[in-house]
Amino acid sequence: MVHCLIIGGAGMLGSGLAARLARTGKLGDRAVSRLTLFDVVAPGSIPEGGAVSVGVKTGDIARPETVEALVAARPDVIFHLAAIVSGEAERDFEKGYRINLDGTRNLFEAVRKAHESDGYHPRIVFTSSLAVFGSPLPDVIDDDHILTPRSSYGTQKAICELLLADYSRRGYFDGIGIRLPTICIRPGKPNAAASGFFSSILREPLAGLPAVLPVDPSVRHWFASPRAAVGFIAHAATVDSALLDERRNLTMPGVSATVADEIEALRAVAGDSAVELIRHEIDPAVVAIISTWPKAFDARRAEELGFTADKSFAAIIEAHIEDHAADRETPA
Amino acid sequence: MVHCLIIGGAGMLGSGLAARLARTGKLGDRAVSRLTLFDVVAPGSIPEGGAVSVGVKTGDIARPETVEALVAARPDVIFHLAAIVSGEAERDFEKGYRINLDGTRNLFEAVRKAHESDGYHPRIVFTSSLAVFGSPLPDVIDDDHILTPRSSYGTQKAICELLLADYSRRGYFDGIGIRLPTICIRPGKPNAAASGFFSSILREPLAGLPAVLPVDPSVRHWFASPRAAVGFIAHAATVDSALLDERRNLTMPGVSATVADEIEALRAVAGDSAVELIRHEIDPAVVAIISTWPKAFDARRAEELGFTADKSFAAIIEAHIEDHAADRETPA
């Protein structure tokens, strides 16, 4: 019987993971008995637990005593998904380091102290990011490529990967870090993030709304559906860490696709009329940012460990349509 | 006129750098007017400054106010060489993180605050280590190879590299990190470090003393003389950082040599009688540790930036003999 703690339980992936764990009551072949959702704010909706007891806590991971209180319940699996996002970490240097680095270190330290006191040794799943990579990059990035982040967010994620590996090697906990692809189709409204268009050029036309494409259709990037990303996070909790050989951070598999591939997948599902809702208007600032991003990975280590990507961009769109069928049935 | 601060000024490299700066009065083509040596203990000897004013301070870099006081003098160049060594960082987890990570972050934060107050923007030269690399490794490691340290010391160095790059990218200071090869011939007595034999099998026989070789002569590793390492550190202070393209951490060039190469270089200089002082006695623990270490690098970026390695292992031995001529003239 497994007690899972989700730090970042109110976010897109945290609430998706909570819904999955509550619905299935399973993590691999183990039964989930208890689920604690932690975030700086309470989640918008708390999943019906059925056999799973679901609790909610709020607080600030930058406060060591807050994290110590979470660890005091000795959860068997800790999913650490909480972070200040890249734009905010770039705008507010101190806040980014305080939450993304010091918050994570507070968690790792609280677990280390618990380990030293009673041998506590949880699995910790940490979500890292492609932002740990920075240009110049080869067209296909392998598992041995250096991390040279070009953002404070990417730096903080790369540092936490190193800490996770060291604390695990020392035996304080059993950690695994997973670098998630860009999530597509991200639910919600269009936003100002440079990556936003990858989702909005699909999500908006699928809802009959216009969208703007700010880059050339030849731009290539690395994607996973929210459903695949939640699957990666859940699978990471069950991987036999002896197979990691102390290299505990893994690039997740994904779908390498161009914007043109996205558009053709949209056309196949929703026809020319949907594609015509995309207005092409180059934004040199977005072009410049995107030009430094990874295009594709050879994510061999993760594949060998059973992490499974979406099958195609068409499958990413189908997952979106299925997962949001309920939304569409509700009048706006 | 340049004011240099050496943090770690009492160590082997710090005192070598201090002696060089005091003797030449130059850093590249700039005159050094002032030299401040900082360490947890006072240096054994303080170099005669001539035209250079030499000051000594002691304290603990883990205390933010100590580092703020050093930064208050607004040194133009800060050499940050201080660290708890790898064995101690592995034995004492908290102390290693406190000095090697938090101490460095205290320095970077003090400089950031000074930058925000008056635009202060020093060059910071940080000495990293080959310990940032971990197995599995290719025979020749290039500048794009991932850092997967297998020690807390290597983890702390890799994290500081990431911080240095991010603080530099943000414009808080102008940093450069250099990964030093294993220093050979290390002066002093034989010690318990796993790498100690690389130096002791030369240093001891050159002084007419016996030495133990605990690994097979086919073992290959990456070396620099203390003189070359001091040269790297001084050169790093003068490199045009615009040429780094925000990839501010560099593997230093070195001499890739086997133990057999070392022994033949010793024979060439000191004859068979010196080589006969080496007793071969395999130590499986040392063999296991050394087996995970890097063998050779393609340090192209550093070479293109003008960092120059020793020419050969024979040159490393010659440098040792020259630099320690004075020691040998003094009766024991």
DSSP string, A268-323: HHHHHHHHTTEEE---HHHHHHHTTS--EE--HHHHHTT----S-HHHHHHHHHHH
pLDDT of residue A327: 61
Q: What is the mean pLDDT of residues B78-91?
A: 93
CB contact under 8 A, B155 and A166: yes
B49 has pLDDT over 90: no
B162 has pLDDT over 90: yes
Which homologous superfamily is A196-222+255-296+311-329 in?
UDP-galactose 4-epimerase, domain 1 (3.90.25.10)
Chain A residue closest in CA terms to B249: A148
Compute the residue count for chain A.
332
Size of interface A-B (CB pairs under 8 A): 56
Rounded alpha-carbon distances, angstroms, from residue B238 to B93, B130, B180, B247, B305: 35, 22, 17, 16, 10
Please list every residue in chain A whose beta carbon sits closer than 8 Å to the beta carbon of residue B157: none
Residue type, B86: S
CB contact under 8 A, A149 and B170: no
pLDDT of residue B46: 87
**Other Cβ atoms closer than 10 A to A252:** 27
The minimal CB distance from A159 to the residues B143, B150, B162 is found for B162
Condensed to tens digits (0 to 9), the pLDDT of residues B201-237 reads 999 999 999 999 999 999 999 999 999 999 999 999 9
What's the distance, CA B218 to chain centroid?
25
Query: In this structure, what DSSP letter does residue A253 have?
Result: P
Q: What is the spatial distance between Cα A262 and Cα B18, in angstroms, rounded to a whole number? A: 60
Q: What is the mean pLDDT of residues B265-293?
A: 93
pLDDT of residue B328: 53
The minimal CB distance from B246 to the residues A150, A158, A247 is found for A150
Q: Is B282 helix (H, G, I), strand (E, B) or coil?
A: coil
B331 has pLDDT over 60: no
Contacts of B239 (CB under 8 A, 6+ apart): B176, B305, B306
Write the ipTM. 0.95
Query: In this structure, what DSSP letter does residue B217 have?
Result: T
From B97, B120, B153, B167, the catalytic residue: B153
Structural tokens at position B164: 């240095």
Chain A contact residues (CB < 8 Å to B): 93, 134, 143-150, 152, 155, 158-159, 162-163, 165-166, 169-170, 246-247
pLDDT of residue A48: 84
Condensed to tens digits (0 to 9), the pLDDT of residues B123-153 reads 999 999 999 999 999 999 999 999 999 999 9
pLDDT of residue A200: 95
When the candidates are 3.30.420.40, 3.30.1330.80, 1.10.1240.10, 3.40.50.720, the CATH number that belongs to B2-180+226-251 is: 3.40.50.720
Q: What is the mean pLDDT of residues B1-21?
A: 96
Instruction: Based on the residue annotation, tell me whether A153 is a catalytic residue of this protein.
Output: yes
pLDDT of residue B110: 98
Domain residue extents for chain B: 2-180+226-251, 196-222+255-296+310-329
The minimal CB distance from A155 to the residues B155, B166, B247 is found for B166
CA distance A136 to chain B (A): 10
pLDDT of residue A325: 74
Q: Which residues of chain A have pLDDT under 50?
A: 330-332
Chain B residue closest in CA terms to A147: B146
Chain B residue closest in CA terms to A167: B152
> Phi-psi category of B113—alpha, beta or left, where left has phi over 0 and alpha has psi -120 to 50?
alpha
Q: What is the spatial distance between Cα A204 and Cα A198, in angstroms, rounded to a whole number? A: 11
Query: In this structure, what DSSP letter does residue A252 have?
Result: P
In chain B, alpha helices (H): 12-24, 64-72, 86-91, 93-96, 104-118, 152-169, 196-206, 226-236, 259-275, 284-290, 300-304, 313-323, 325-329
Please list every residue in chain A whose beta carbon sits closer than 8 Å to the beta carbon of residue B115: none
pLDDT of residue B324: 83
B190 has pLDDT over 80: no
When the candidates are 3.90.25.10, 3.40.50.460, 3.90.226.10, 3.50.7.10, the CATH number that belongs to B196-222+255-296+310-329 is: 3.90.25.10
Helical pair A226-236 and A12-24, crossing angle rounded to 10 deg:
70
Residue B281 · residue B188 · CB < 8 Å: no
pTM of the model: 0.96
**Other Cβ atoms closer than 10 A to B187:** 14
CB contact under 8 A, A163 and B159: yes
pLDDT of residue A332: 38
CB contact under 8 A, A170 and B159: no
pLDDT of residue A328: 53
Q: What is the spatial distance between Cα A249 and Cα A169, in angstroms, rounded to a whole number? A: 12
Helical pair B196-206 and B259-275, crossing angle rounded to 10 deg:
30
Q: What is the spatial distance between Cα B313 and Cα B257, in angstroms, rounded to a whole number? A: 7
Condensed to tens digits (0 to 9), the pLDDT of residues A13-69 reads 999 999 999 999 999 999 999 999 999 999 888 888 788 999 999 999 999 999 999
CB contact under 8 A, A169 and B147: no
Q: What is the spatial distance between Cα B9 and Cα B233, in angstroms, rounded to a whole number? A: 13
Q: What is the mean pLDDT of residues B311-318?
A: 94
**Lowest-confidence range among A289-293, B4-8, B46-50, B254-258?**
B46-50
Q: What is the spatial distance between Cα A221 and Cα A257, in angstroms, rounded to a whole number? A: 6
B193 has pLDDT over 80: no
Residue type, A115: H
pLDDT of residue B87: 87
CA distance A31 to chain B (A): 34
pLDDT of residue A331: 43
**Other Cβ atoms closer than 10 A to B68:** 16
Residue A56 · residue A6 · CB < 8 Å: no
Q: What is the mean pLDDT of residues B55-73?
A: 97
Q: What is the mean pLDDT of residues B69-97?
A: 96
Please list every residue in chain A whose beta carbon sits closer than 8 Å to the beta carbon of residue B158: 162
pLDDT of residue B176: 98
β partners of residue B6: B37, B79
Q: Is B32 helix (H, G, I), strand (E, B) or coil?
A: strand
pLDDT of residue A326: 63
pLDDT of residue B53: 95
The minimal CB distance from B159 to the residues A145, A162, A169 is found for A162
CA distance A80 to chain B (A): 20
Chain B residue closest in CA terms to A133: B146
CB contact under 8 A, B149 and A165: yes
What's the distance, CA B160 to chain centroid?
15
